[in-house]
Amino acid sequence: MLMDFWGTVRVLRRRWYIALPAVLLTGVLALFVYVSVPTRYESSGVLVLTSPAAGGRYSEKTKPEDVVKVNPLLQFDGSLTTTAQILTQILGDPKTAEELAGEDSTSTYTANTGPVGGPLLFVTSEADSAEEAEGLVGKVLEKTVNELAAQQKALNAPEQTFITAQVLVKPTTASAKIGGKVRYVGAATVVLLLLTLASTFAADSVLTKLKRRKEKESGAAPPSEKDAPPPPPPSHAPPSRPVPGGNGNGQPPRPQGGVPNAHQKTVIIPAPKPNPAWPTKDD
């Protein structure tokens, strides 16, 4: 891994005239991406649903002074949570979203009951400008209040038992969201840097091959068979005699002149000369 790193550094250093312009171009393109991607703004608001003071039942025979009044904030039950979920489904309808945000608008919003899942309704919007984001949250909150009343009227519920929606948090001041732009810029930078490395290594490989080919062509060409010098004539010198060094059996050479030595098994003794004093046939 370390060798690959230093190898990459050496290639970038050797081909700096290719890598440096590519890096500068990467910075310019990253800046262009950051400027070209529009900044998104976010705003939010919260609604809370409450039960009527007289509860969910109403009788016309009951006098107003006889009605037991309670605190609506002490009457949070499962019915309010169910109503909040119904409202989120209505607000999530594409037709409702097109009506509130506009047909060709890039503004979006979300409505949910949050992590608590109670009678709270959280609305969040995103738009290309702060004014659009804040205005869209206000439209969604107003639409929710009107839709809640319309649904209860459609069910012929007594008006005295209507669930009411109170704006708990008005549309907040829109804040810029640059996380999306940073992600775009980061992705573009990584891709451009990889392209820079690839182009630098490709250029280094091509230039190295061209340099080797040029050096090979400019060097001395190897002699051909036609231009090769003729082989030297065969030598007529007499064959060299073997140097006496043994008899081929690992034994030392036999001495010349009949002089015995310690390595011989048989001792040669000269024959005795005839004695002239001995009688012959002629005597």
Per the structure block, which two tokens stand in for 106? 């890039």
Position 138 scores a pLDDT of 94
Position 25 scores a pLDDT of 85
The DSSP element (H or E) to which 186 belongs, if any, is helix 179-218
Predicted confidence (pLDDT) at residue 8 exceeds the cutoff of 70: yes
CA of 68: how far to CAs of 11, 49, 165, 176, in Å?
A: 87, 20, 22, 49
Worst-scoring range by mean pLDDT, 13-27, 100-114, 142-156? 13-27
Taking 3-state DSSP, the helix, strand and coil percentages for the chain, each rounded to the nearest 5, stand at 45, 10, 40
Name the CATH architecture for the domain at 41-58+65-178. 2-Layer Sandwich (3.30)
What secondary structure letter does DSSP report for 96?
H
What is the chain's mean pLDDT, rounded?
77
Amino acid letter for position 96: T
Q: Is the pTM of this model over 0.75?
A: no
Residue 66's pLDDT band (boundaries 50, 70, 90)?
low
Position 283 scores a pLDDT of 46
Position 258 scores a pLDDT of 54
Residue 276's pLDDT band (boundaries 50, 70, 90)?
low
Mean pLDDT, residues 67-92 taken together: 78
Residue 234's pLDDT band (boundaries 50, 70, 90)?
low
Q: 46 near 169, Cβ under 8 Å?
A: yes
CA of 28: how far to CAs of 33, 39, 136, 137, 196, in Å?
A: 9, 19, 35, 37, 13
Position 267 scores a pLDDT of 55
Position 2 scores a pLDDT of 46
**206-235 core/surface letters (b: 16 or more CB in 10 A; e: else):** eeeeeeeeeeeeeeeeeeeeeeeeeeeeee
Position 22 scores a pLDDT of 84
